[in-house]
Amino acid sequence: MLMARIVFYDVNEHDKQQLEQAFVGSDHEVIMVTGGLTLDTLDTLAEVISVFVSSPVPAEIIEKADNLQHIACRSTGYDHIAIEAARERGISVSNVPAYGSHTVAEYAMSLLLLLSRKLDQAIESAHKGVTVRQDLQGFDLYGKTIGIIGAGRIGCTLARIANGFSMRVLAYDPFPAEHLAQENNFEYTSIEQLLAQSDVVSLHAPYTRENHHLLNAERLSMMKRGAVLINTARGELVDNRALIDAIESGHLYGAGFDVLEGEQLINTREELLMIRSEAADPEKLKHSLEVSVLKKLPNVAVTNHNAFNTREAIARINHQTAENIHNFFLQTPSNIVS
């Protein structure tokens, strides 16, 4: 096996230890970069680069990566990669398809429990030493209906968790499989029926061009009055402005989001960079305002792409990414998405 240059971006000390261990004994040159991938940090000599979802790989980076042969995503989603540009250059792309079905499903349920029992407000009131029971009144999950959009690994795992709360489970998926419905005790239905009947809607669909704003103003208006929306999938699945209107008007009880359209602007440093830019992107400015408003609305919980973040899931991501890279050089590619 010829020696290759492999550069990992967005790594912390824990990632570094696991990934370096995975290449012990190989002749590859392995380089770890703590920061993200940008035009300034791009290593143009690398045959392989590996990125997390926080580092977009646009066409302009792919064009300048003269030696690049493979992009190893340390994530299930790969919409942050310019797939067409990679395909035109003959650069393959791999992902990690099954690192965290339990991890993300548990997080989705955690967001729902936080909202249903107003846990954040209850903790804050206890810290202040002032408890107003009426303000902290929540609602039971028992007997409620949860609608899961996207009945893949994560969606099916959430269905089983919801079964444990004695919830009725509906699911919408463009590729229904009846054996999954039977194994996980849910019922397939149309997206319109799911929205109309569900007390809780949880998104677990991939982001594609066709899925952009899957939940727009029209579909949000179809949701049951007083329902809760949970999104641990991709921010672009939901129209931020329409969601704000639905919550502010009282049509929706609330929402729990680990992903948002324009989510990078949750980071204050990113907002500052945008403000200081001489030519700020109007779309980014709009998303920045939307994110700011959502964080201030009552019964809205916003976290910053943290659903994946457990010790076990990170270890699985790093292990599978290293295996994907090894297999690429062995000419037995695994988990190729392009």
Q: Known catalytic residues? A: 234, 263, 305
Q: Degrees (nearest 5) of the Cα angle 54, 207, 335? A: 75
- Separation between Cα atoms, residue 143 and residue 120, nearest integer Å: 24
- Separation between Cα atoms, residue 292 and residue 219, nearest integer Å: 23
Secondary structure (DSSP) of 52-69 = -TTS-B-HHHHHH-TT--
Burial label, 146 (beta-carbon count in 10 A; 0-12, 13-18, 19+): buried
Q: Measuring CA to CA, how many Å separate 240 from each of 40, 259, 292?
A: 31, 11, 11
Nearest to 76 by CA among 252, 327, 259, 241: 259
Residue 6 forms beta bridges with which residues? 30, 48
> What letters, b where the CB count within 10 A reaches 16 and e where it falls short, cover 312-321?
ebbebbbbbb
- Separation between Cα atoms, residue 219 and residue 88, nearest integer Å: 36
What is the DSSP pairing of strand 252-257 with strand 70-73? unpaired
Q: Measuring CA to CA, how many Å separate 87 from each of 36, 46, 49, 62, 68?
A: 22, 17, 15, 10, 12
